[in-house]
Structure 1
Amino acid sequence: MTELSINPMIDHRKGKLDKIENFMAILLLLGFILGIILQYSTLEFIPTNDDNWRIEILAEQYYQSFHHILLLLSLILTILPSFFFIPTSLRIQSQFMGSRIYRGRDFLRFIGWSQSLLGIFYFVSFFIPSYMLENQIYLLFEPFIAHIFMLFAFLLTVFHKRQGIGLQTGFSWFKALIFIIVIYLSIGLFIDLLVTEPIAKLFDLELVSWREDQISQEILGASQNGWLGSIFEILMIGLLVPIAEEIMFRGLIQTIIHRKLGKWVGMILTALLFALIHVDLSLLAPLFVIGMVLSWLKVYFNSLWPPIMFHILMNSISTFIYLIQ
């Protein structure tokens, strides 16, 4: 009799915790989306002398009222839910660790954890003295904080289900490597001629990317710390960023969309999200094409490793070119 009366209470408590975790994860996802919307709202279209538009991002000191409102809402929805999501998620962690099947709920938990860690980081940074935030080590890591937390979130939530998102072998590594090299060389030769320049000309856009300029400045700053700084940038941009982004896009997002809406919808929507999240309208079209290539590699080889390899090759070579320039 006692066991029968306790079990419904336990089930009710678990159900309540599930609802709290889901609700907080949704709030954290909204905070993430608002952060992307904020970045798009700060894009400036500046007319050039040759009747084109150069797209730049507005510096924070020039934010208007609605920018500050978006920033405040994004911070609130990233920081406050974190203090409820993390303890709740830890209390029900065991019920997810037993299953090896990847579900949409796992993606929501991944977003919840990655945003919660970011929210705690923002909260703690409010109390850190400014001179510590100007430390060279902090400045090296700061651009990659979100990607680092994405990997932590993956380890906490989906790592035990890694085969369900495509982190398995069973394909020809040699064939994958040949495909990757051929596709990379083809993109290098033809993407500007066939995609980037025609789209830019169609919309009168100047082919100057604020994001690429920002990355080049970060690499330049790191290289001033000597060869260790250069190696750090190659490891972060060439290794950590591709792994984190491929796990999130081709692993978590594409798998869910593919399962629900089919292969091609999964590839197209994932590539579109991949392009949009970079907030780079000048290079939106080539980013979409690259996203489609990465999505196709995932489907063709039925594994996440080929797109990871392609992304690593692409980012590593780009970083190396920035360094030698």
Structure 2
Amino acid sequence: MELQKARPISGPKQRPPFSHRLRNGSAWLLCLSFFFMIPIEFASLEWKQTTEGLWRIESGENTGVWFTLSWFLWALITLAGILGFTVGGLISRFAYERKRNRGVEGRDIAYYFAWIQLLTLVVTLPYYALNPEEGNSWIDYFPHILMLGIAVFLFRGRLSDLGLRLPSVKNTLALLASVAISYVVVYFFLDPLVTEPVARFFHLELNSWREDSISKGIDNALKAGWVAVFGQMALIGIIGPIAEEVVFRGLLMNALMKRGWVVLSIVLSSLVFALFHADITFLAPLFILGMILGTLYAVFRNLWAPILFHIVNNTASVILDILHK
């Protein structure tokens, strides 16, 4: 008679320490706080009808009931998240940040956005409180700088998990050709086939508050000198694109692609990318741009493909804006 091997008796699974559970939950709260700002920003936009019967959408300070309630809820979530994330980090001696994990999981996304939200508020709120009238300065791009810096720190030693890896020579040529073709298509066909028809259908004025803000920033840089102009180009044309591609393709789209949802990952990351800019007039073309960026990432499985296209697109826009002034 064959004796069965005795199975080791395993006790109940040990729960993580309270500080870790507190910190993980608070990280998700701050992640929610980050994305909750998108509908709040949309709610703050002001719709004004022009004499031509078109809708002009401007960045305003809408103080309606829904906006006030949404802002109050956001403030509660953010405050609870900051307190729990900070206290839990101090108690655990920032165990997550000291540990180097492999791969990218949900908790990595939560901690990434938690740090962005925390540091953005710590720096920008006091700055805007002391400089309420100042705008279009480097502080407006501080979140993008954080997006890039925090990614480098949290994913140190595993940036390739985000798709930041050098392509082969053969793939490099195909990547460059795809980027060039994509930009030509966008430059010649995006506005006449997407931007203008959508604006006509919804009776929107082709006047974007976001584009006006960028243009105003370039105007101020031109007055300050070429050093400021190159700084503006670096922020808009290089830092911004790299940071956004790390977020929308390297993190969000990557997480869905690993589950085999390639098409869904392209669509959802493109939608979040478009909504993130809070520009109703250019919502449709931004979504199409996101689809192109996502397709480049899905085809090459390399983050440098969408990064390069994003850099070319933004830098060319800045240069054209400067030449038209």
Q: Report the Cα distance in structure 2 between the residues aligned to 1:218 and 1:69, rounded to whole angstroms.
A: 32
Q: Report the Cα distance in structure 1 between the residues aligned to 2:49 and 2:127, rounded to whole angstroms.
A: 37
1:277 maps to which residue? Answer: 276
In structure 2, the residue corresponding to 1:224 is in which secondary structure?
helix
- Following superposition of structure 1 onto structure 2, how do residues 97-136 of structure 1 map, counting pairs within 5 Å? 97=100, 99-122=101-124, 124-125=126-127, 130=130, 133=131
Letter paired with 1:85: F
> How does the TM-score come out when normalised to structure 2?
0.86
- Identity value in percent: 30
2:167 maps to which residue? Answer: 170
Deviations 1:136-164 (A, max 9, x none): 9x963211111112122212322332111
- The answer to whether the 8 A contact 1:113-1:153 is kept is yes
- The answer to whether the 8 A contact 1:17-1:92 is kept is no
Deviations 1:259-283 (A, max 9, x none): 2351100011111110111111111
- Residues 78, 149 of structure 1: CA spacing in aligned structure 2 closer, same or farther, 3 A cutoff? farther
2:3 maps to which residue? Answer: none
- Following superposition of structure 1 onto structure 2, how do residues 226-237 of structure 1 map, counting pairs within 5 Å? 226-237=225-236
- The answer to whether the 8 A contact 2:97-2:154 is kept is no
Alignment RMSD, CA only?
Answer: 2.4
- The answer to whether the 8 A contact 1:34-1:73 is kept is no
Q: Report the Cα distance in structure 1 between the residues aligned to 2:279 and 2:67, rounded to whole angstroms.
A: 18
Letter paired with 2:70: L
1:63 maps to which residue? Answer: 63
Q: Report the Cα distance in structure 2 between the residues aligned to 1:87 and 1:161, rounded to whole angstroms.
A: 27
2:224 maps to which residue? Answer: 225
> How does the TM-score come out when normalised to structure 1?
0.86
In structure 2, the residue corresponding to 1:167 is in which secondary structure?
coil
Deviations 1:241-261 (A, max 9, x none): 001000000000001112235
Q: 2:49 aligns with which of 47, 50, 57?
A: 47
2:150 maps to which residue? Answer: 153
Q: Which has the higher helix share?
A: 1
2:262 maps to which residue? Answer: 263
- Residues 314, 93 of structure 1: CA spacing in aligned structure 2 closer, same or farther, 3 A cutoff? same
In structure 2, the residue corresponding to 1:46 is in which secondary structure?
strand
In structure 2, the residue corresponding to 1:160 is in which secondary structure?
coil
- Residues 43, 140 of structure 1: CA spacing in aligned structure 2 closer, same or farther, 3 A cutoff? closer
Letter paired with 2:104: Y
Aligned residue pairs, count? 307
Q: Report the Cα distance in structure 1 between the residues aligned to 2:292 and 2:269, rounded to whole angstroms.
A: 11
Q: Report the Cα distance in structure 2 between the residues aligned to 1:310 and 1:71, rounded to whole angstroms.
A: 35
Deviations 1:47-104 (A, max 9, x none): 223332222221x3x634543443444345445533431453452126741x222111
Structure 2, unaligned stretches of length 5 or more?
1-10
- The answer to whether the 8 A contact 1:207-1:282 is kept is yes
Q: Which has the larger radius of gyration?
A: 2
* Residues 1:141 and 2:138 aligned together: yes
Structure 1, unaligned stretches of length 5 or more?
1-7
